[in-house]
Amino acid sequence: MINIFLLGLPGAGKGTVSEQIVDKYHLTHISTGDMFRDAMANETKVGLEAKSYIDKGDLVPDEVTAKLVEERLGQPDIKEGYILDGFPRTLVQAELLEGITERLNKPLTNVISLEVKEETLVKRLSARFMCRKCGATYNKITKMPKVKDTCDRCGGHDFYQREDDKPEVVKNRLEVNEKMNAPLKDYYQKKSLLTVVDGERTPEEVFKSVDAVLSKKQ
Ligand code: AP5
């Protein structure tokens, strides 16, 4: 099994590289951000609670997030392994995850940190837009749909900008996440799980580096 945690600031390309990993390795992609957006769209209790944090660029409380992850990681569809995208984001979450993976006997095998400069992150987030129907991610500068106004994945025509990609929220999101990034890297470095990947390059080049790490695990 390959069980990955993808670490990276907002806009580092975690979602983008996750899609490429899933295509090649058939791992289960678990994005806490996507799970919260689904919950918000369905107006569930968790979704309504999460919205009050996410819309401001703050983190959802550790216990709420960890519970969601434990439920998801416990599902039987995870056969080849998993990618955790956006969890853990605090040291408390990292410790909670250790308990979860021990209970489920699904330990992390790799932590990959995507490193991208802040000015690049800001540019990427302000240019990102999403398909409302399937959640596919696009970018006004680097990744427009192949057919104008039509989603490559589902054919949908309704696109939107995430509330938390608006400039006033991005600043706080980056600040909140930057605080925890270095301690998390240290935590996984000490466990000899960490590989740092330069995320400034094209998505194809980034994936090549990630692939080189993962192919050693097979
Ligand atoms: P989440 O959805 O996880 O947001 P995030 O971590 O801020 O990450 P993003 O989805 O913004 O970026 P990404 O790294 O996936 O980049 P992407 O591939 O899309 O979380 C949202 C919120 O939920 C959080 O702020 C928090 O409130 C809450 N939350 C989630 N997890 C939580 C947790 N564990 N604890 C507490 N709260 C939590 O790429 C970005 C753009 O750049 C795209 O347009 C893409 O096309 C483009 N791009 C990507 N790679 C490249 C490249 N190599 N070159 C050029 N362009 C690129």
Flag whether 148 is in a domain: no
Domain with 27, as residue range(s), is 2-116+180-215
Instruction: In whole angstroms, give the CA distance from residue 18 to residue 33.
Output: 13
Strand partners, 83: 4, 29
Instruction: Enter the pTM of the model.
Output: 0.94
Whether 203 lines ligand 1, by a CB cut-off of 6 Å, is: yes
- Reported ipTM: the value is 0.96
**Is residue 157 one of the residues assigned to a domain?**
no
Catalytic annotation on 153? no
Question: Is residue 25 one of the residues assigned to a domain?
Answer: yes
Domain-located, residue 67: yes
| Residue the block writes with tokens 């806490």 | 32
Percent share of the chain, pLDDT over 90: 96
Count H helices and E strands in the chain, helices first. 8, 8
**CATH code of the domain containing 60:** 3.40.50.300
The verdict on the CB of residue 189 being under 6 Å from ligand 1 is no
Residue 110, domain member (yes or no) = yes
Give the per-residue pLDDT at 217: 67
* Residue 45 counted as domain residue: yes
Cα 63 to chain center, whole Å? 18
Over the stretch 1-36, which tens digit does the pLDDT of each residue have? Answer: 999 999 999 999 999 999 999 999 999 999 999 999
Alpha carbon of 128 to ligand 1 centroid (Å) = 10
Does residue 202 line the site of ligand 1, with CB under 6 A?
A: yes
Q: Which of 8, 170, 166 has the alpha carbon at shortest distance from 89? A: 8
Residue 216, pLDDT > 90, answer no
Q: What is the pLDDT of residue 218?
A: 63
Is 41 among the domain residues? yes
Buried b / exposed e over 161-185, threshold 16 CB at 10 Å, is ebebbeeebbeebbebbeebbeebb
Residue 130 belongs to a domain: no
Nearest residue to 143 (alpha-carbon basis) of 133, 134, 153: 153
Number of domains in the chain: 1
Query: Among the atoms of ligand 1, which is closest to the Cα of residue 139?
Result: 44
